[in-house]
């Protein structure tokens, strides 16, 4: 049976652990070549090693504008195309109206909104050529406004709107754009955050 993503190249941000690593794992299983990326070289190299020759890791900090361009350049240099862009990297720093700072605001919006749009900008020529797809990982917090996620929720609301605009702009190029608004997930990052916030080790139960 033919694999669903045979011959495709995917860039998956925030793929050193959690949801991003799960997406990358499925894509490789379905025949894609995958560019993994994140801030942790140790975690990224471990995932790439586990996935084998069809996965490479590029250490990036997508808050940095230059790293957004470099990531796409690496994908094109190694695999000659980008067919799928998954914007999964996220800053979910907790903040209320009482404790939010300009630094928290700028950091969250830089990663959660600016980076996906810059990556799409740099990859768009290849995405158009291959009639590719952009998958933005949103959040139900775009619609519900959990009080400790003030800026995070705002950034995801903006990503939903941006995704609609991208979809309408690119529809005649046959580039599909999705925004998947997930609920809370039991990931390594969220467990670390919950521990930091003082939740007991058995909070999942």
Pairing mode, strands 9-12 and 55-59 = unpaired
Residue 169 known to be catalytic: no
Query: What does R_g of the chain's alpha carbons equal in angstroms?
Result: 17
What phi, psi does 85 have (nearest 5°)? -120, 115
Which of 27, 152, 169, 178 is labelled catalytic? 152
Distance between CA atoms of 121 and 125, rounded to whole angstroms?
A: 8
C-alpha span between 185 and 78 (Å, rounded): 32
Binning the chain into helix, strand and coil, the percentages to the nearest 5 are 50, 15, 35
Catalytic residues: 152
């Amino acid at each position: 049976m033919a694999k669903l993503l045979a011959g495709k190249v995917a860039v998956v941000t925030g793929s050193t652990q959690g949801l991003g690593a799960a997406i990358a794992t499925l894509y490789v299983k379905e025949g894609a070549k995958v560019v993994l990326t994140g801030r942790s070289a140790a975690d990224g190299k471990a995932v790439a090693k586990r996935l084998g020759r069809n996965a490479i890791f590029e250490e990036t900090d997508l808050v940095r504008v230059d790293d957004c361009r470099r990531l796409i350049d690496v994908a094109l240099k190694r695999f000659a195309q980008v067919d799928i862009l998954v914007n999964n990297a996220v800053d979910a720093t907790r903040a209320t109206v009482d404790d939010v700072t300009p630094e928290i605001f700028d950091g969250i919006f830089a990663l959660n909104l600016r980076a996906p749009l810059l990556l799409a900008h740099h990859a768009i020529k290849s995405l158009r050529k291959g009639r590719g797809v952009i998958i933005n990982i949103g959040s139900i917090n775009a619609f519900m406004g959990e009080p400790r996620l003030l800026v995070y929720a705002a950034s995801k609301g903006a990503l939903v709107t941006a995704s609609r605009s991208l979809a309408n702009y690119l529809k005649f190029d046959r580039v599909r754009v999705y925004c998947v608004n997930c609920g809370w997930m039991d990931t390594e990052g969220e467990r670390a955050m919950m521990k930091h916030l003082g939740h007991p080790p058995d909070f999942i139960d």
